[in-house]
Homo-oligomer: A and B are copies of this chain.
Amino acid sequence: MQKDTLFATLETAVTAGDKQSARATLELAHPADIAEAICEFTAQQAVHYLSLLSLPDHAVLFGYLTPHAQAEIAREMSRNDLAALFSQMEADERADLFNRLSEEDQHTLLPGLAQAEREDVRRLASYPEETAGALMTSDYATLRGHWPVRKALKKLRLEAPDKETIYQTYVIDANRHLVGTLSLRELILANPDRLVEELMRTEVVHTQVDEDQEVVAKKIRHYDLLALPVLDAEDRLVGIVTYDDAMDAAVEEATEDAQKSASVAKLDAPMNQVTGWELYRKRVFWLVLLVFGSLLSGAGIAYFEDTIAKYVALVFFMPLLVGSGGNAGSQSAALMVRALATGEVAMKDWAKVLGRECLVAGALGLTMAVAVFALGWFRGGVEIAWVVAFAMVSVVMAGSLIGLCLPFILSRVKLDPATASGPLVTTIVDATGVLIYFGFATTILGL
């Protein structure tokens, strides 16, 4: 169904308070699409629509909303409705929502849950954001090694409705230590009388509960996993991260890197929901900081004021030279930041990468020097032409090397290499470029 039609249908149902037509939309469209349409409603309208649905439908739909929208809508719901919804949600989504509620709401919600669920929420909600612990769910299927396949399948059938996945199962011992893994595919192909421990794979790819979500997503992608088991400090199985949550995390990380690459701090909401005030706050820090960087370029210019006053024509080439250096630097930085993020290049490769970069940057600088030499001759004579050409090779090489090294250096001092953004590199290279250019000019023109 078209998004606009869907929105109109939902709006009619809400206005009329019509339970039947509200529920009918669930047959017509995928819950992910309905959730998206609901995001266009005000929170009150959304609460109204959700109240027309049965509780299980309500919970499914709620799960497809963005965390941001979930929290907004939850704030508008009555305590009783929220408590009922809360008990029906999936374990990982429930914990995420819990973390986004006010302390007051949190305190009124917990008593409504059973003891075990309460502890589960507290535990899952306790892990820091962007870690395996925050991403994982406790709704996974476990088996025991001494069970026959027949018993394992029976248990999976019983538990299927409550588990996030039954396609990959985890074999644990009496102390919840992870001893193996088995897929449902392998189980249904196996002789029902064989034992789980005879069939399971014992080399299980896993992660620790405090691992960064970027690493989690990379592991799931690298090993083509449906889910990645998560262990605590005592190596006990405490949860799994499923591929769909890992995919969301990977996209979130790419967005964060794309924003950092332009010196914007991480936004707390998607671009269609973020407020102007937040955008201002996330941008102003770096803009002001970079002003001080630009002052270095200014200082460089001030230092060479005599040279400039004598040859004002030199200023004509300044944007060209420092711009090209900045552009080459941005290219190198972006290539390195992304290669470090995807794991294509590791810290240990840096010498090899540096060698190649010197050659590439040299070739790029020479190409550009040839182009500007002609231009320099035409506008300022042969001397200016040589100044501009020499400066171009040097500035492009300096820019490329700065752009290449900065992500490595940041990574080395345990900062996010993505901070080596285009604007930061450009600002540093600008100042370097000014010094190189006017330095050459002063020397060659004998000023």
Q: Give the interface of A toward B (CB within 8 A).
A: 27-30, 32, 153, 156-157, 160-161, 166-167, 184-185, 188-189, 203, 205, 220-224, 243-244, 246-248, 250-251, 254-255, 257-259, 261-264, 270-272, 276, 279-280, 283-284, 286-288, 290-291, 293-295, 297-299, 301-302, 305, 308-309, 312, 315-320, 322-324, 326-328, 330-331, 333-339, 342, 344-345, 349, 353, 356, 359-360, 363-364, 367-368, 371-372, 375, 396, 422-423, 426-427, 430-431, 434
A and B contact pairs by CB, cutoff 8 A, 18 listed: A28-B203, A32-B224, A157-B189, A160-B188, A167-B184, A221-B247, A250-B250, A257-B258, A259-B334, A262-B331, A272-B344, A283-B328, A287-B331, A295-B320, A298-B317, A309-B309, A326-B423, A426-B426
Is the CB–CB distance between A264 and B316 below 8 Å? no
Asked whether A339 and B271 contact (CB < 8 A) given A360-B279, A367-B288, the answer is: yes
A31 — nearest CB in chain B belongs to which residue?
Answer: B223
Is the CB–CB distance between B271 and A372 below 8 Å? no
A-B contacts besides A221-B244, A283-B331, 15 pairs, CB < 8 Å: A28-B203, A153-B188, A160-B185, A167-B167, A247-B250, A258-B258, A264-B334, A264-B335, A270-B339, A270-B344, A271-B338, A280-B363, A283-B360, A298-B317, A301-B315
Residues of B within 8 A of A422 (CB): 261-262, 330, 422-423, 426
A321 — nearest CB in chain B belongs to which residue?
Answer: B294
Docked CA distance A383–B371 (Å): 39
Is the CB–CB distance between B345 and A30 below 8 Å? no
Is the CB–CB distance between B279 and A356 below 8 Å? yes
Residues of B within 8 A of A290 (CB): 323-324, 327
Is the CB–CB distance between A360 and B328 below 8 Å? no
Docked CA distance A322–B427 (Å): 11
Q: How far is the CB of A277 from chain B (nearest CB, A)?
A: 8
9 A-B pairs with the lowest CB-CB distances in the bound complex, closest first: A262-B334, A297-B319, A271-B339, A422-B422, A254-B254, A327-B423, A294-B320, A258-B338, A270-B344
A166 — nearest CB in chain B belongs to which residue?
Answer: B185
